[in-house]
Amino acid sequence: MTNRQWNELLAVINGEDLTASSTGFIIDSPWLPEWSGVSTLDYYTSDEIWLESNLQAIKTFPDIIFLPGFWSEYGMCTEPSAFGARSVWYRENLPHAEKAIHSSEDIANLPQPNVEFDGLLPFMINRLKNLENRINASGHTLKFAVTRGPLNIATFLMGTTEFMLLLAMEPERAHELLGKITRFICDWICYQKVCFPTIEGVLLLDDIVGFVGEEECREFVVPYLKKAFEAIPAKIRFFHNDAFGLGCAPFLKEIGVNLFNFAFDHPINQIRELAGPDVALIGNLAPRDILAAGTPEQVYMATREMISNVTDFQKIIWSCGGGIPQNVSTENLKAFVLAVNSLYKSSN
């Protein structure tokens, strides 16, 4: 991320009037490898290919803020690997983590990871250390510590159905698990900051938050996400949940979130009403059905419609409802940017 882009994000979050619209997308391994013409496995295992894929994206789309920017990750295996989850890899598809918890009794014996040495985490840090000078030479710096959230990690460690049953049937053990995972998350965020002092933001991703109701959100989400976002003093506290988002939206300010990426199912106006005026929003065109599957003309028209339905343009970064999925073409992304810029200019 360039200093200009970082300052632009801060300006949006602070509600400042900008001379142009802001467009940003979360990008990682579901989209970048295929778009840049490499295999998923090569993207994960070659630092050079990983770097060139990211550089290609920022050069092709200079008007887009890519978030978090040069994300060093290994798909959903990243955090579970630190707890001992077995990773299964494919050449063209995303990897997956197998369960490390087979019954609720296993939670007590789950190891507390050492973020400096365990799982795939050292490889993530080392990749960035090896390439940091070249990233900086491109005009970008590392600005975000990134992690998946406690509920998300819990479901990879024990299974989604099993974790949801744990919340309902054994809440004390659920708290034990979420507490252990949250301590890991805080350690992981702090370690990223130690390794890269330029970090000033936190991106936390947790779609499982959208699987629980309001009471469960208050008990099992709010205290743990709040603790995670307080791990370091961060100017941007960016939360991604592109599952059901109406339940968590009223709690975002209490959690400390000041930038929220949410599902395309929820109109921007509705999320604004629930989240309040203090939380900046990033969204929310349908990522799969329109941004990926539509023609450039359809993307253009749908983007204009999305924007025209919004009553207040303050504190908004135009994007899709989630990260960029597989199969989004260069032409469709450019159509999105064109629609945003044309409509914004016509309204000023």
pLDDT tens digits, 219-238: 999 999 999 999 999 999 99
Looking at residue 303, which CATH number applies to its domain?
3.20.20.210
- pTM, 2 dp: 0.96
Pairing of strands 144-148, 201-205: parallel
pLDDT tens digits, 170-199: 999 999 999 999 999 999 999 999 999 999
Say if residue 105's pLDDT is above 90. Answer: yes
16's CB contacts (< 8 A; 6+ apart) are none
C-beta separation of 158 from 166 below 8 A:
yes
Q: Which of 282, 185, 271, 265 is nearest to 226 (CA)?
A: 185
Amino acid at 346: S
Say if residue 20's pLDDT is above 90. Answer: no
Structural domain count of the chain? 1
Domain that holds residue 149: 3-346
